Structure 1
Amino acid sequence: MPAPTFEIVKLAIVDDHKLFRQGLSYILGRFPAYQVVLEAASGAELFAGLQAGQPPDVVLLDLHMPEMDGKEVSRQLLAHYPHIKIIILSMDYSPDFILDLVRLGVHGYLPKDIDQLLLGQAIEQVRTKGYYIDDKVAQVMRIGLQNKRISKHFSGPDISVAVELTEREKEVLTLLCQGYSSAKIAERLFISFRTVEGHRKHLLEKTGAANAVSLAVFAINNKLIHSHS
């Protein structure tokens, strides 16, 4: 019987601390599903590596680096390499930073001391679903969105406009923000996959969201998902 096949996820690690890069690369290298194709100590090194070699599927990116910080690196990555997913790894949980990065379009935001199994789950969800938001980030985002100064400059869905959602759409939205796939939502709500996809399309249209991350911001602001931390 042939061994099961899986798609190898190519990763880049960008951090100005060499020991952290090496340690993370060693940990991820122990999993057959991952291949670290690029390590960089700065944004400039990352972009030089991208031009010279095979681009990664996911970039694990430090937020605070000299010369070019994680926000600027994210901005340039999203502009020139839109197919690459970005996960920020940082101990900074400032609402300003998180909301600015979500506004830019980063796909995940994680603490540097995250458990390796949770990191693996986040990488997989970012690769397959396009985003990853845990309870702690959701809580910080909600706090930030309560600040009018931040909300005014947030370019996601217009959170000042009331949106009429059906009870079923609210259920689907909540489960989407918790990381459930359309198939799992269909199973949990006892409805068809096609029906879930229809609700998802309507949610994007009604909220003006461009993607699942923007939907999550809308849900947090309207108290449709809750933190357990």
Structure 2
Amino acid sequence: MTGTYEQLQQCPQTGISRSDLNFEERSEVRAIQVKGTSGLSQTNNPGKFTDVFYLDGEEKAAAETFAAENAALLEQLDLSARNVLQTSLARELYDLILDASGRRDIERYPTVVVETHEDGTQWVINRDRYETRVDRRYTTSETGSARIPGETSLHDIYESLGDTITEANLRNTTIAGDVRQVLDYYRVSSTFECVPVTTDDQQLAVRKRTQATQS
């Protein structure tokens, strides 16, 4: 076993060379390297990122190391647009790095993903869309995504509405986009005591298990 491999067994590393590893060890080593994608314009690229090497299966630890080593550059990325990190890395690593860097808080549920951004804005996105259409996550002009502005929150909206929360109720709030994703979030999150229902006029809705406080 080489000394470099022993270092990688302890934690992800920067500044190592694959040539210091033997053949079998190299087959287990992965790297986070940000180089962009050939043929794509590399706009939204703040500079040269430090590479991080790690053993297969240690993606979360590698993302945390990468976020710490490249904190200043990550702060400069415009995450609302296509960026060099996104075009260089697999989706799973991209999301792990954003989570580790604090640029986004990501909560995953079976059918939806909730992201809270630095400015307090929240996005509720259909999980399939989130995982398969990375460059179309943040839009309110298509089904599958909803945006909640930073001056309020999903919890505040839930508490402000009555015993039954319908699609129409949510459309009358500050939520933009596909409000059905928000209903789905209320349904699957353990934070909210509610059950899914359908109204007489065939709207999707959730009904709170406890009575809403009447003012």
Structure 2 length as normaliser, TM-score? 0.33
Structure holding more helix per residue? 1
Structure holding more strand per residue? 2
- Whose RCO is larger (CA < 8 A, sep 6+)? 1
Structure 1 length as normaliser, TM-score? 0.32
